[in-house]
Structure 1
Amino acid sequence: MNMSSSPVLLLVLRFYALFFCFNVALTAEVDITTGNDLMSFVTRPDIKAPRYEVTIHDPDSMTSGYWFSAPYSVIDPEAPTRKWMPCQVGPHIYDGNGTLIWSGACLFENRNVFDFRPVTNIDDEVHMSFILQHAYHDDSVKGSGMIYDQHYEHEKIVGVTNDLSAFNMHEFKVLEGGKTSLACTYRPENVDFADLGRPGETGVVIIGGFEEIDTATGKVVFEWSSKDHVSLSESTFAVPTDRLPGAPGWDYIHVNSVDKNANGDYLLSARFTNTIYLISGQDGHIIWRLGGKQSDFDQDFSFYRQHHAQFVPSKDNETVISFLNNASDEGSQEDTISTALIVRLDTTSMTARVVKSFDRPDGELTRLRGNVQILSNPGGKGDGNVFVGWSQQGYHSEFSPEGKLLMEARFISPRFSSYRTFKLPSNNFHGRPAEPPAIKSFVYASASSSTVTVFYVSWNGATDVASWNFYAQAQDSSNRVLVGNVQKTDFESMFMADGYLDWVSAEALDAHGNTLGWSEVQRSSLPENWSQSGLSLNPDDPSELASLEDYINDQIDAEEEEEEEEEEDSSYGIFGGFGGFLIFLLLVACSVTGVAVDVWLGRTREEKLEQKRDAEADAAVAACERGQGYIQLPFDEEVYALSDMSRRNSTEST
């Protein structure tokens, strides 16, 4: 049994892993062909979440919370493949520093997800909703609206129950109480072009609209179509004049968001008419238009190709809305910068005035998609911060109510974007995964007497884990022995322990030391070339290693107490009288001689120890190079302290 694992090996492995593997990966120039714009985890090799570049300008003013983001690479469904691919796109949750909390990409095998957001209006718990895109060239898989709970398990699947060809990607909003939800609709129809001064001509036009759906049954309880309410002439997206549009059709209105107020009326954003509509929940007539060719308001601002128009809670006698003024599309622009707007509407005087505006921090344009979110104020008083998703490259930012930029973040490579990005205050959300933590462990050695077991653990979606306890056992049915603890600082945590620990497990603890969950018991992996290295090792019994450590600690404590007692006895009366003076001179002479001898012995010991350290370091580096190199290795000073038993043993022997 290995009873004297080397702390030198621990140090070399830590240094090599952190400063070679991890540091090189972070400082290397982003090259998407190598995948270093993605996270990598030992315990979850299937998860390759996009990495964020985060800039925090005022951490004290930020709202502590989590980002709900759904990265995608290509907006249309991709063809299925038999090749194995890691999970990269789909619903993801990150903390405010860009650390991954949860990846749901593997749930749907890299199918696109849109409008991923927290839902806080169903009950006292936090839920999640998103749109799962329709499948590639499979008309039977039309996509759906999904509602998940805080255990990351689906509660409701809202599918297509009418004649729609697919669940539209733009909106899935769960309304108060969770009984109904809103979605956009697109229907291609043959339409007469008389409104455009071309009577007798017909072509395929995409008719935009929305529906309110019973969340439990999928039944449509209210539906509205632009066909009978918005003329083709309102469109600012030109139809070809030299030919009639065929399939899929002329998208003359392009609805992209819908909301509902307490009066039962609906707020609809239409991108290609540059108009926001208030629509009656009674008979579907248009109550008013804001913007576009037929605006009913006197405005002190303009907007172009807007997204995500939403009601903002306000006083009973006024209407306040928020939306993103993209100010551009793929081929045109009306301004040089995109802006998030909060607008007050006076429906008596029919005036519209900007209350607040928040320019895109990098001075660029968001030509597609995006959203604006008014965060709740943690103190319950005054206005909350404003969170804006700028879509392209997952860019988003947070502002104070006064407009001060607090933070900004984006994916480190341009190949990913997110249709919308939302933020949820952290005190409202407690992710409790139904699956257990994932653990993997590996054994490394520089000699038969120097072995180290390296643990990795993660728990996809767990928000309340503060630390990890690590355990080992001689057999799968043996009692667990605690071998160490580390604070959780990243999605995946790493820990090193002396010895060849065969059967291992991990326990997740909250900030108060309460158990949140256990991993399964797993066996440690050995390098494939173990036998070729000339090493012949047997697993250690962790209970005996623990007993040895207790014994050594007791011995050291006893020796320290004995030394203290001897010092007290020797100090009493030693300088009394002439005899004491002679004793003093003798002690001085002995001390001088002892110092000289100790210097000579110390140099000899140090030379031998240095040679031993060099040999062990070379062997450890060689062993590490033969094994795997990993990224995402969080550093914790407490880990190396767990080799204290070996250091004491080494000190005692020298």
Structure 2
Amino acid sequence: MHTRSLKPPTNPPPGLDVLQPGPTIYKSTGELVWSDPSLGSCNDLNLQTFEGEQYLTVWVGTGGGASGLQTGSGFALILNSKYEVIRNISAVNPEGTDLHEFRIPQPAARTALLTAFNPVQLDLTSVGGLAKGWYLNSIIQEIDIDSGRVLFNWTSADHIALDESFNNLTTSGSGTSEGNPWDAVHINSIDKDHEGNYLISSRHCKTIYKIDKNGTIIWRLGGSRSDFTALSNDTEFNWQHHVRWRNDETQISVFDDGAAVLHQTSIVVDEPVATGKLLNVDQEAMTVSLAKRYFPSPNTGFSLAEGSTELYGDFVVVGYGSNPWITVHDTATQGVVFSAVIGPNNSTLWVGGISNYRAFQTSTHAFTGHPTQPPSVAVVAGDVYVSWNGATNVASYTLFTGSSPEKVTTRVSNVRNSGFETKISAGGASTFILVEALAADGKILGRSVVHRASDGSIASR
């Protein structure tokens, strides 16, 4: 489940109700803006630039990343402001496109960075496994969005040593079959620098790798073989997610989970609290220091999986993954200016918990939703209820009535949009009704079909 907040309010809501799976957009006041349960299982709903325009992007498919093994087979979708799919992108991989990354690198904005996983046979005797063991190969690909052509393909089996993994093979009991491969590396994010090199996060190696565009490893940050000298405390990270270049590639942001669940049963806790971190990275002196650290509040604790740290000028948005929390922080002071819980406050990944892979922020200036379906209307006990899934700029609704479906033109009342569903008194309405949605400047954004005022049934389309 993925949520997005629009702007930190003065008095944030205590929680956001998540009623069904699928991508969702919320206002920061807790009101639902859009959801599409028909897309089913999804991750990483975001707003990205493609060919100079802003679009929603999301991964949809089957499976999930909680097990740390096969992490899902699906597609990366690009949706326009009408919530229509305009591109469907897939990694060129037998197992399909994995859920962990779908990034459109800038400024070219014409390619997709995708993750994929594929079990392969490998000699695992050096780490206590079988000579013909099974290894879950972490794959990153850069795909041309329009043609689907693979521009770059890189695999962990060819570049990362087995003993860099912190996912103990013998303890896990994995690596014994194609259906039980050893997830040694577990790549969960990809970024790209201005020179065309790749920045990848390996959760199970606790390492950030910089990969040359020719495929060789340039350096490691973190893990057992770090090439950097720490100049301050708290630069380490454990079982991390969502690694991104920041500030002209002088800093790296990371979500430090602090803990992990391996093979659904083994919980490993290295830090008591999950935090968003901003690290100063000097690639000439090869030093790293802590710039900022963003702590959760009022809820606190480690995260077993997932999570994100995203910068928006004066604000930093942190999503806590397996913990259904979102916090927004003042970038400079690190203080919390907004917090919310998404659905039940339950961090159990497999028993009814809400999983929020990444949390992002936008505004109606950056994204304006124009749904193709008209506003929905229902009549209950003499009142009219109207909602318009995905419409972002509705300021008010006007109720009209008439004696025939062809002439519903008499204005009854106008009410302010009060949330995802707005109540309008039907007093003064005659046989038939319709509702218009208006912008703040009075522009008509949409009009419902004609309904019978008696029971809300559709009279005319």
User: Secondary structure at 2:300's aligned position in 1?
Assistant: coil
Q: Which amino acid aligns with 2:180?
A: P
Q: Are 2:374 and 1:436 aligned? A: yes
Quote the Cα distance in structure 1 between the aligned partners of 2:401 and 2:370: 25
Distance change (3 Å), C-alpha of 1:70 and 1:219? farther
Whether the 8 Å CA contact 1:70–1:114 is kept in 2: the answer is no
Q: What are the within-5 Å matches in structure 2 for residues 384-423 of structure 1? A: 384-401=314-331, 402-413=333-344, 414=346, 415-423=353-361
TM-score under structure 1 length normalisation: 0.62
Cα deviations by residue, 1:507-539 (Å, 9 ceiling, x for unpaired): 1111111111111111124499xxxxxxxxxxx
Identity over aligned pairs, percent: 29
Say which structure is richer in strand.
2
Distance change (3 Å), C-alpha of 1:459 and 1:143? same
Shift of 1:393: 4.5
Quote the Cα distance in structure 2 between the aligned partners of 1:297 and 1:169: 30
TM-score under structure 2 length normalisation: 0.86
Distance change (3 Å), C-alpha of 1:188 and 1:244? closer
Partner of residue 134, structure 1: 62
Number of residues paired by the alignment? 428
Partner of residue 497, structure 1: 426
Considering Cα pairs closer than 8 Å and 6+ residues apart, tell me whether 1 or 2 has the greater RCO: 1
Whether the 8 Å CA contact 1:195–1:231 is kept in 2: the answer is no
- Structure 1 portions without partners, runs of 5+: 1-48, 72-86, 378-383, 445-452, 529-654
User: Secondary structure at 1:102's aligned position in 2?
Assistant: strand
- Structure 2 portions without partners, runs of 5+: 65-71, 262-266, 347-352
User: Secondary structure at 1:431's aligned position in 2?
Assistant: coil
Say which structure is richer in helix.
1
Q: Which amino acid aligns with 2:302?
A: L
Partner of residue 460, structure 1: 389
Partner of residue 90, structure 1: 22
Q: Which amino acid aligns with 1:357?
A: R
Whether the 8 Å CA contact 1:213–1:222 is kept in 2: the answer is yes
Partner of residue 402, structure 2: 473
Quote the Cα distance in structure 2 between the aligned partners of 1:95 and 1:159: 31
Q: 1:356 aligns with which of 284, 292, 295?
A: 292
Partner of residue 97, structure 2: 167
Whether the 8 Å CA contact 1:398–1:405 is kept in 2: the answer is yes
Quote the Cα distance in structure 1 between the aligned partners of 2:3 and 2:216: 46
Distance change (3 Å), C-alpha of 1:335 and 1:243? closer
Distance change (3 Å), C-alpha of 1:197 and 1:245? closer
Cα deviations by residue, 1:255-307 (Å, 9 ceiling, x for unpaired): 111111111010000011110000001x1000000011110001232211111
Q: 1:273 aligns with which of 189, 202, 205?
A: 205
Distance change (3 Å), C-alpha of 1:296 and 1:410? same
Whether the 8 Å CA contact 1:164–1:185 is kept in 2: the answer is no
Whether the 8 Å CA contact 1:308–1:371 is kept in 2: the answer is yes
User: Secondary structure at 1:240's aligned position in 2?
Assistant: helix
Quote the Cα distance in structure 2 between the aligned partners of 1:466 and 1:473: 24
Shift of 1:360: 2.1
Quote the Cα distance in structure 1 between the aligned partners of 2:415 and 2:113: 45
Whether the 8 Å CA contact 1:134–1:167 is kept in 2: the answer is no
Partner of residue 369, structure 1: 306
Q: What are the within-5 Å matches in structure 2 for residues 615-630 of structure 1? A: none
Q: What are the within-5 Å matches in structure 2 for residues 59-70 of structure 1? A: 59=10
Shift of 1:169: 1.0
Quote the Cα distance in structure 2 between the aligned partners of 1:432 and 1:374: 27
Q: Are 2:245 and 1:311 aligned? A: yes
Distance change (3 Å), C-alpha of 1:421 and 1:57? closer
User: Secondary structure at 2:269's aligned position in 1?
Assistant: coil
Cα deviations by residue, 1:222-281 (Å, 9 ceiling, x for unpaired): 111111210111111100277852223000111111111111010000011110000001
User: Secondary structure at 2:62's aligned position in 1?
Assistant: coil
Q: What are the within-5 Å matches in structure 2 for residues 634-645 of structure 1? A: none
Q: Which amino acid aligns with 1:480?
A: T
Q: 2:193 aligns with which of 238, 261, 286?
A: 261
Quote the Cα distance in structure 1 between the aligned partners of 2:109 and 2:272: 40
Whether the 8 Å CA contact 1:258–1:309 is kept in 2: the answer is yes
User: Over the residues paired in the alignment, what is the CA RMSD in angstroms?
Assistant: 2.9
User: Secondary structure at 2:45's aligned position in 1?
Assistant: strand
Quote the Cα distance in structure 2 between the aligned partners of 1:287 and 1:70: 45
Quote the Cα distance in structure 1 between the aligned partners of 2:443 and 2:309: 38
Partner of residue 350, structure 2: none
Quote the Cα distance in structure 2 between the aligned partners of 1:464 and 1:398: 23
Q: 2:123 aligns with which of 185, 192, 209?
A: 192
Quote the Cα distance in structure 1 between the aligned partners of 2:63 and 2:257: 29
Partner of residue 183, structure 1: 114
Quote the Cα distance in structure 2 between the aligned partners of 1:178 and 1:391: 27
Quote the Cα distance in structure 1 between the aligned partners of 2:192 and 2:289: 21
Quote the Cα distance in structure 2 between the aligned partners of 1:423 and 1:527: 36
Cα deviations by residue, 1:81-121 (Å, 9 ceiling, x for unpaired): xxxxxx7111100011110001111x33xx21011111145
Which has more radius of gyration? 1
Q: Which amino acid aligns with 1:232?
A: L
Quote the Cα distance in structure 2 between the aligned partners of 1:252 and 1:135: 19
User: Secondary structure at 1:287's aligned position in 2?
Assistant: strand
User: Secondary structure at 2:93's aligned position in 1?
Assistant: coil
Partner of residue 104, structure 1: 36
Quote the Cα distance in structure 1 between the aligned partners of 2:447 and 2:404: 17
Quote the Cα distance in structure 2 between the aligned partners of 1:395 and 1:433: 28
Distance change (3 Å), C-alpha of 1:454 and 1:400? same
Whether the 8 Å CA contact 2:2–2:44 is kept in 1: the answer is no
Q: Are 2:157 and 1:227 aligned? A: yes
Q: Which amino acid aligns with 1:419?
A: Y
Whether the 8 Å CA contact 2:2–2:359 is kept in 1: the answer is no
Quote the Cα distance in structure 1 between the aligned partners of 2:109 and 2:286: 33
Distance change (3 Å), C-alpha of 1:340 and 1:135? closer
